[in-house]
Structure 1
Amino acid sequence: MSNAPGNVSLAKQLVDHPAFNIGNPNNCYSLFLGFARSPVNFHAANGSGYEFMADSVLRVDKLNHQVAARMVSAFTTFKQFDTKRQALMKAQLERIVATPGLSENVFEIASKSLA
């Protein structure tokens, strides 16, 4: 995933691309974890990268708990960032943890991150 600003919208488009299969773990790792490694887009000041990633974690969790658990690990270092980004990341972790029907795998990682 490129570090060019504004790639949140591109990542959203890639999710809907016919070649992308959200049920394929390698597709998820490539797109979502690649996105999470983009300091410009995942850590966008407006929080759009965090929201996209949290939405993606919740979507994948319905299909594959283990893949979603690995994806949510992108949020585990939130305390290392500035207070604004910490608050934005924490809000997404709290939203994930509060989701009804969340898998134990994702809940464990997200809740431990908040502790």
Structure 2
Amino acid sequence: ALRAELEAAYAANALPAQPFRADREAIGMRRLKNACLGYLAAIEDGAAAALCLRQAGEEGACMTDVMAATSALAACDGPAAAAAREEALGLYYSRHAKGNDLLVCKWFTMQAVADTADCLERTDALRAHPDFSLRNPNKARALIGAFAANPCRFHAADGAGYRWLADRILEVDAINPQSAARLASAFSTFRRYDSGRQALIR
């Protein structure tokens, strides 16, 4: 119902990629524009996905805009956005993240926190990515820890998220017990959940 208003606000706050501005007004405009983009992406149709992909792939775009658009697409679960999601994630990795551990970690995280039906499978598959290593605490936290912070997919009613995290904790514990303990803290609040989930965690 608010699509037209969101599109208008997005357009009104779009700044040219260059020259980059970091003043208060420009920061506020980017924040508002990207908030609108996130809401538009949630529509999960072809037009919204194309808008996100255009921003994600814009040459010379600032990392704030690239991250906002790529994260918005990473969270899209609909078939109309599927191709754009894969293209945006691929662009982000090849253009920005490859060879940069900090941006690789962000790339892992945006996929692990996405509320998508294939989130657990995608997160598990990323363990085989050449840039992932359990021996790197930052990367383990960026992927495994991020999934544990995904409220919908980690707490799936079938307990698959809990089993997956428990297996990863055992693997990390053999390498870095301190990191494993931090990951295990995801289970420390189990008493807040319904009885079915408490039973699965136990």
Equivalent residue for 1:79? 191
How many aligned positions are there? 90
Partners of 1:8 and 1:41 within 8 A in 2:
yes
Equivalent residue for 1:32? 144
Partners of 1:5 and 1:40 within 8 A in 2:
no
Equivalent residue for 2:182? 70
Look up the SS of the partner of 1:3 in the other structure: coil
Instruction: Encode CA deviations 1:22-50: one digit per residue, 9 max, x unaligned.
Output: 10000011111110111111001100000
Task: Give the superposition deviation at 1:6.
Answer: 3.0
Question: Percent of counterpart pairs with the same letter?
Answer: 42
Which residue identity is paired with 1:26?
A: N
Gaps of 5+ in 2: 1-112
Q: Which entry has the higher C-alpha Rg, 1 or 2? A: 2
Which residue identity is paired with 1:84?
A: G
Equivalent residue for 1:12? 124
Which residue identity is paired with 1:3?
A: D
Equivalent residue for 2:133? 21
Q: Measure, in 2, the Cα distance between the counterparts of 1:16 and 1:83.
A: 34
- Give the TM-score of the pair, scaled to structure 1: 0.76
Equivalent residue for 1:113? none
- Give the TM-score of the pair, scaled to structure 2: 0.44
Which residue identity is paired with 2:140?
A: C
Structure number with the higher helix fraction is 2
Equivalent residue for 1:48? 160
Partners of 1:6 and 1:41 within 8 A in 2:
no
Look up the SS of the partner of 1:5 in the other structure: coil
Look up the SS of the partner of 1:40 in the other structure: helix
In structure 2, do the counterparts of structure 1 residues 26 and 42 end up closer, same or farther at CA, with 3 Å as the change threshold?
Answer: same
Alignment RMSD (CA, Å): 0.8
Question: Where does 1:88-99 land on structure 2 (aligned, <5 Å)?
Answer: 88-90=200-202
Gaps of 5+ in 1: 91-115
